[in-house]
């Protein structure tokens, strides 16, 4: 009985995960390829790429007329936030036109994760393994479920920062966009627009490299794939269930 219940849970999990993956893939396909925003003065402009991260930050030559040295970093963040808001507006509109929200609502319905065999298109070929006794496999499955739940509730990394060559200007990025910018006001006051843009570009490249490094860091494997392979091997050989 425990085997049937366990495999039913796995089938439900696989089906729901496949549907969720399809939903997220569809959402990503509708993501805007480009978005722009400016600060309140209109003199700092941030352009976002397909991933939502800045690809360029432009500063008008006359920036000192309306932006103080102390307020420069804040103007950069304001422009980035405006670009992200515009990107989200365009994205939301595209999803609404595609009917994506209706599909997402159906995912929350009672039929989304109930019963049924996993569709053939979503099945993965099970690797050849020599399974352990069913009791050991079941115990490890429950532990793996606990680890997955803990990982899902763990706080996400806040992001990564990068500075220009002078170390006077720093940009902070999260996986979804710019979250901060700091700059030494006295240093800013001595810079031309061209030099500020060069510094912003250097800090941006450094922050992106740090963010990519953080994303590439190894994460704990729940081990569900291997456990599922063992469970499938047991089901395919009833004699081993009796061991």
Query: Per residue, what are the HEC states of the chain?
Result: CHHHHHHHHHHHHHHHHHHHHHHHHHHHHCCCCCEEEECCCCCEEEEECCCCCEEEEEECCCHHHCCCCCCHHHHHHHHHHHHHHHHHHHHHHHHHHHCHHHHHHHHCCCCCCCCCCCCHHHCCCCCCCCCCCHHHHHHHHHHHHHHHHHHHHCCCCCCEEEECCCCCEEEEEECCEEEEEEECHHHHHCCCHHHHHHHHHHHHHHHHHHHHHHHCCCCCCCCHHHHHHHHHHHHHCHHHHCC
**Beta carbons of 168 and 206 less than 8 angstroms apart:** no
Residue whose entry in the numeric block shows the structure tokens 């031309």:
192
| Interatomic CA distance for residues 191 and 184, integer angstroms | 11
Q: What is the per-residue pLDDT for 241?
A: 47
Angle between helices 72-98 and 100-107 (to 10 degrees): 80
Instruction: Kindly list the distances between the CA atom of residue 204 and the CA atoms of 39, 76, 163, in Å, as whole numbers in the listed order.
Output: 18, 12, 8
Within 13 Å of residue 182, how many CA atoms lie on the same side as its CB? 8
The structure tokens listed for 172 are: 């902070």
* Cα 72 from Cα 69, distance rounded (Å): 5
Q: Per-residue pLDDT tens, the chain, 243 aa: give them.
A: 565 666 677 677 777 777 777 777 878 888 899 999 999 999 999 999 999 999 999 999 999 999 999 999 999 999 999 999 999 999 888 888 888 777 777 766 655 444 444 444 444 555 555 666 655 655 565 555 555 555 445 445 568 999 999 999 999 999 999 999 999 999 999 999 999 999 999 999 999 999 999 877 665 555 556 656 665 565 555 555 455
Q: Give the separation between CA 37 and CA 15, rounded to whole angstroms.
A: 40
pLDDT value at residue 117:
46
Residue in the block written with tokens 């932006």? 67
Say how far apart CA 236 and CA 129 lie, in whole Å.
11
d(CA 219, CA 189): 43
The distance from CA 133 to its chain's CA centroid, rounded to whole angstroms, is 38
CA gap 196, 95 in Å, rounded: 37
- Structure confidence by residue, pLDDT tens digits, 96-124: 888 877 777 776 665 544 444 444 444 45
């Amino acid at each position: 009985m425990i085997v049937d219940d366990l495999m039913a849970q796995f089938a439900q999990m696989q089906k729901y995960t496949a549907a969720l993956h399809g939903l997220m893939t569809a959402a990503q396909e509708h993501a805007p390829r480009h978005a722009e925003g400016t600060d309140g003065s209109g003199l700092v402009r941030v352009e976002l790429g397909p991933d939502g991260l800045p690809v360029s930050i432009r500063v008008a030559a006359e920036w000192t007329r309306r932006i103080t040295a102390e307020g420069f970093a804040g103007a950069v963040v304001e422009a980035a936030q405006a670009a992200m808001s515009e990107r989200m507006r365009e994205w939301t509109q595209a999803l609404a036109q595609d009917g994506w929200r209706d599909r997402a609502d159906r995912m929350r319905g009672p039929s989304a994760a109930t019963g049924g065999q996993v569709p053939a298109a979503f099945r993965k070929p099970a690797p050849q393994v020599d399974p352990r006794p069913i009791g050991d496999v079941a115990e490890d499955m429950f532990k793996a479920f606990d680890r997955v739940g803990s990982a899902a509730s763990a706080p996400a990394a806040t992001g990564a920062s990068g500075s220009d060559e002078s170390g006077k200007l720093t940009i902070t990025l999260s996986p979804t966009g710019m979250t901060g910018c700091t700059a030494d006001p006295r240093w800013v006051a001595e810079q031309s627009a061209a030099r500020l843009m060069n510094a912003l570009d250097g800090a941006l490249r450094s922050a992106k490299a740090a963010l990519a490094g953080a994303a590439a860091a190894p994460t704990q494997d729940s081990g569900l794939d291997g456990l599922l392979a063992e469970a499938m091997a047991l089901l395919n050989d009833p004699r081993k269930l009796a061991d």
